[in-house]
Every structure is written in C-alpha cells, then in structure tokens.
Amino acid sequence: MDLLAKAWGWEMLLPYEGSVECWCNYLQQYYKENCSVIVEVTGSNLVDAAETCLKKENELVSLWDSKLKECTDDILPRNTFILSSLIQEFAGKVKRTGEGISDASTAALLCITKEANLICEVLSRGAKPMVYLIIQSTEIRMCTLSLMYHQLYGVAAAAAMVGIMKETDKICDWMSKNNKPFDPFDMDLDNDFELGRQVRFRTLHLMISILEKSPFSVPAAAGHKVVKEKSFSGNVPSNDENNITRAEAANTT
C-alpha cells in the first residue's frame, strides 16, 4: 500500500481491475484519504446533501422536459424521469427523517447530484440526449442509488463514489472553461482526462460488481453489461460490439 501511495498517490482513484475482495483494502484506504471531499461539500450533513440533491433533480427534470420537446424520438429521457423520481423519493425521505440507509448514503447523494449536474451541463451546451457521457452518467446514478441499500461493501462503494465525483468535477470545470460539451474520446485532451475516462468506466464496473454480490436481486446489476471501450475516436465507439443502441440505453435506467 505504501508503494502504491508513492507511485500513484491518493488524489485519483486507481482504475479498477480484478475482484472486489482484492480491491477492498485499497478502497478503504482511498476513502480514508479522501472522505474530506464529502465534508467540504456537505459538512457530512445528510439532510443538506438530500436538499441539494432534490434541487438539482428538479433542475434536471426541467431540462429533460424541454429537451423532450425537441427530441421526441428518444427513449432515454423518458426513462430518466423514472430514475429521477426514485432519487427524489429517497432524498425526500432523508430530508424528512434525517436518516440514511447506510454509511454510503451521504456520498451517494452527493455523487448522484454531481452526475445530475454533469448531465445538465452537457445538455445545456447543445449535446443530444443519447451521447455516451449522458448514458454513462445515467448508469452511474442508477448504480449509486442501488448501492445506498448495500451494506456489505459500504465503505468500498463510498470510495468508488468519491473517485467518480472527482473526475466529474474535472469534466464540469472543463465545460465551464470551454463552453462546449465534453467528449471523453477527444484525442486532443490532456492525458489526465484519458486517465479520468478509465477511472469512470472501470469504477462503474466496480459498482456493478458490488451490486452483483447483493443477497437480494438488484435490477441495476441483473443482466447489465456496460458498453466496452476499444475505440477512442469519436463520441461513441462505432463498431457493432461497442455501439449503444436505444434499446440498450433504455435498459440502463
């Protein structure tokens, strides 16, 4: 672990590979080193995190609603309304009771909020609802919501959320500076963004792996397969194996 800290550091999450069990010690240490991210944003106040989440969900739903009038053939936004409704139901309950479900609840609310903000930033800059980044962000939101009900790997799940949040912040900062949608496959981006793309992609796999270990059936994990990434040119890998169809996208919400 000391060698890993010296070689990679604790600022960016190491791209996941292997098994959840093998990764647990690393994730627990990563969370210990980076849990201040949650404190800085929410002060570890679960109710504040829930209120912020509700406000951002309302903003996202409003933006989706306006986009639906422009893109009437797209399925993803309609299913996203369902996901947002489930998120608002949970956040509303937390706001009323002041109680979370697990240790990952505050991190989950913050992660969901940041992904909602990412989608808002991408859509408001003219991107279509079916672009890769929005589909991936929707998958992350879905898995994060499900992970709030998962007790066994709570710290590992929270670490995954923190790692993704950091990369999400970088993407949103880039869009604010450049005033255009972010393309994770743009070859002109700094290498840091390529590493960040790998972190988001592999950490989503980690989330699904944790969900698959749940003792009860979790829709987010059951039968779910994240799109593979082999081509790094263009918005979305274009070959048949990697392409995300509308039907597949609908199944992710």
Mean pLDDT value across residues 210-232:
55
Residues above pLDDT 90, as percent of the chain: 49
- Side chain identity at residue 247, one-letter code: A
Q: Supply the range of the domain harboring residue 114.
A: 2-250
Nearest Cα to Cα of residue 145 among 185, 188, 122, 113: 113
**What is the average pLDDT score of the chain?**
80
Nearest Cα to Cα of residue 225 among 247, 205, 198, 197: 205
pLDDT digits (tens, 9 = 90+) for 203-214: 999 999 989 887
Mean pLDDT value across residues 79-97:
91
pTM of the model: 0.82
Mean pLDDT value across residues 66-71:
76
Which residues have C-beta within 8 Å of that of residue 224, sequence separation ≥ 6? 208, 251, 252
Domain count, the chain: 1
Mean pLDDT value across residues 210-236:
52
pLDDT number for residue 240: 34
Whether the per-residue pLDDT at 67 is higher than 90: the answer is: no
Is the model more confident about 112 or about 101? 112
